[in-house]
Amino acid sequence: MKTIFLVTFLHIGLISLLAQPPKYFETSFSIDNNLISVANVVCETANNELVFTGATLDTTHLEWRPLVLVTDLFGKEIHSLDFKSYFPDTSLEHPHVGRSLIVNNDVSTIVGYTDAGYKANCFFTKYDIKNNKLISTDFIGTTQNSEVAYAMCQTTDKGYLLAGLLQSFEPNDSAEVYPHIYKVDSMGKFVWSKTYKQYNLSSNWFIDIVPADVPDEYFVSATIDYTAYDGEPLLLKINGEGKIIASKLYNNEGQGAAGNVKYDKATNTVLFTMAEDYKVPFDLQAWRLVQLTPDLKTELFNFFYTNHQGTPAGMFALPDGGFIISGWVVEKNNTLNVRILRLSKKAKILWQRTYGTPEEDDYAYDMIETSDGGYAICGRTHTTTQARIYLLKTNCMGLLTEPQASYEIAQNEGLTLTLKNTSQYVYPDSIDGGFYVVDWGDGSKDTITTDKEPTLTHTYAQYGTYNVVLYGWVCNDLSVYGQPMGVWPVGIENSPSSRALGGVTPNPAYQTATITLNPTLIDPNLALQIYNTQGQLVKTIPLSGSETTTFSTANFTSGIYYCRLQNHPEIEGVKMVVW
């Protein structure tokens, strides 16, 4: 008699939150079905909610007003703010646009600008988690000039610096546009302002501001000397009074514009994005990313993405010295899509992902890292008739997939088992991809592998029940698949019968089969268990208490099955063929 071993399974399933919606998605929102809704900035709260600010056009009341949208990390809308009560004078002629957002301790602070056509003014608004207005200040600056706030950061004294522009209407200034900074206290009260009149050619403005490496110092990005054919990106480092400590100007042939600036504490470096012409005079702007030392004297990294025209939106330094950068690009068919690039420390593109709504143009304006290890990008998507908020959330690989761990166990001679990995979306062979861990359930060392489709074997020391668990990791996402299984001896002769259990007739069986028990095993409390070759329990049959029990095989698929007594692993089983 030949002895093999049967692996039986009691499937406990995939350990996952099946009722949970997908973590990663691409979607859009229209606030109150308004004609236009745009998100300029995104932040994440301590409660793991995404908050967006921008502007929306209410065509029913012909009002432009600031927009605040709050969603969970799965993209489900929680609420949106109606700023009509905050700014009752909003109109097509007097719009309010939210441009920067800070969320601390369930209090959101928003700055932006109002535009009356001939004159703009900064506004500053705070509201709590219940949407109660705490403070709202309009007309922060002077009454004779036009001011715009594009960005904001908090200062060491809990106040704020607002960076943007000032258009002077003073008698000797001829409506010049200068970079400009406001300092306000924690409640938006004016403290001081500084206009940088040394930048006085054409239009000039600050676009972003962030805390620097030293307390009460700040990095500010600016565009200076901007015209239809020119423009120079500028990066400044200023102190708490607005005095310039260091500067870095990027002269280029053609038009250029500054983007975001970010201080990366882990590397003690500054990241700066810009859009610059690369085919003069055809005005094809491309992404550019540079990395500098905090004194702005040494450039450590320079990447110029000339594959497509477009504008960058956000960037991050990675632990391996590489970078993530996102933005929007113009495709060959003149449609606009959102793109994410993964760069090596030598400025090589390691992977790129492209997203966008079919038949629509999609813009990316801001990008953050989320607490669950992914990226969130906001902007707008529009057709010729409507613009909506665009929201994209991906994992660390720029993908929308989540790992799905699974395996199959193949039968082997002796106590050795084979695991075939049938998992999906772990990408162990890809850059930034994941890996697998197998716990064999017997206290032995876990098996760790990055093979794409590994076939793993393991030999147990003795018979028993073991919980084999497979873990699939990628980015911050984990999928777990496990099954408790028993390894028991099963004796099978070349003939249909087995002296231990009995025999099955007819064998092969068709429609019905009869099990004849060894007379010593006749017991009305016993049950017969039937397994397929994958070790899955197919059917449990209560025995009749007599020597024979007949059962139906009509619902069985053709193949080989194994029969054994329930709760009696010491009793050798019998093989049955169904056709």
Q: How far apart are the C-alpha atoms of 224 and 318, rounded to whole Å?
A: 30
Tell which residue, 544, 486, 555, has the closest CA to residue 6: 486
Question: Which parts of 129-216 are beta strand (E)?
Answer: 133-138, 146-154, 160-167, 177-184, 190-195, 203-211
∠ CA 394-389-163, rounded to 5°: 95
Among the four given CATH numbers 3.40.50.12160, 2.60.40.3080, 3.30.479.30, 2.120.10.30, the one describing domain 493-578? 2.60.40.3080
pLDDT digits (tens, 9 = 90+) for 27-60: 998 887 777 888 899 999 888 999 998 888 877 7
What pLDDT is recorded for position 17? 38
Q: How far apart are the C-alpha atoms of 236 and 181, rounded to whole Å?
A: 12
3-class SS of residue 519 = helix
Tell which residue, 571, 573, 562, has the closest CA to residue 537: 562
The answer to whether 326 and 340 have CB atoms below 8 angstroms apart is yes
Structure tokens at 35: 């004609």
pLDDT digits (tens, 9 = 90+) for 148-198: 899 999 999 999 999 999 988 877 767 689 999 999 999 889 999 999 999
What secondary structure does DSSP assign to 24-85, as a single string? Answer: SEEEEE-GGG-SEEEEEEEEE-TTSEEEEEEEEEETTTTEEEEEEEEEETTS-EEEEEETTT
Question: pLDDT band at 16, cuts 50/70/90?
Answer: very low
Amino acid identity, residue 83? Answer: F
Helix (H), strand (E) at residue 535? none
How do strand 512-517 and strand 548-552 relate by DSSP bridges?
A: antiparallel
Residue 15 burial (C-beta neighbours within 10 Å; 0-12, 13-18, 19+): middle
The answer to whether 233 and 274 have CB atoms below 8 angstroms apart is yes
pLDDT digits (tens, 9 = 90+) for 272-325: 999 988 665 555 678 999 999 999 999 999 998 877 788 999 999 999 999 999
Mean of per-residue pLDDT scores for the chain: 84
Structure tokens at 544: 């009749």
DSSP state of 97: E
Quickly tell me which residue has 């606030």 as its tokens.
Answer: 31
pTM of the predicted model as reported, rounded to 2 decimal places: 0.79
pLDDT digits (tens, 9 = 90+) for 378-432: 999 988 888 999 999 999 999 999 999 999 876 555 688 888 899 999 999 999 9
- Identify the CATH number of the domain defined by range 402-487: 2.60.40.10
pLDDT of residue 497 exceeding 60, the answer is no
What pLDDT is recorded for position 3? 33
What pLDDT is recorded for position 321? 95
CA–chain centroid gap for 184, Å, is: 34
The answer to whether 99 and 112 have CB atoms below 8 angstroms apart is yes
Structure tokens at 386: 């409507």
Q: How far apart are the C-alpha atoms of 11 and 23, rounded to whole Å?
A: 26
Residue 81 burial (C-beta neighbours within 10 Å; 0-12, 13-18, 19+): buried
Tell which residue, 113, 161, 163, 118, has the closest CA to residue 139: 113
What pLDDT is recorded for position 494? 34
The answer to whether 373 and 395 have CB atoms below 8 angstroms apart is yes
3-class SS of residue 520 = helix
Q: How far apart are the C-alpha atoms of 172 and 22, rounded to whole Å?
A: 59
Structure tokens at 489: 């001896």
pLDDT digits (tens, 9 = 90+) for 325-345: 999 999 888 889 999 999 999
Q: How far apart are the C-alpha atoms of 82 and 147, rounded to whole Å?
A: 24
Domain-wise residue ranges, the chain? 402-487, 493-578
Tell which residue, 273, 281, 272, has the closest CA to residue 246: 272
The answer to whether 245 and 239 have CB atoms below 8 angstroms apart is yes
Same fold, 402-487 and 493-578: yes
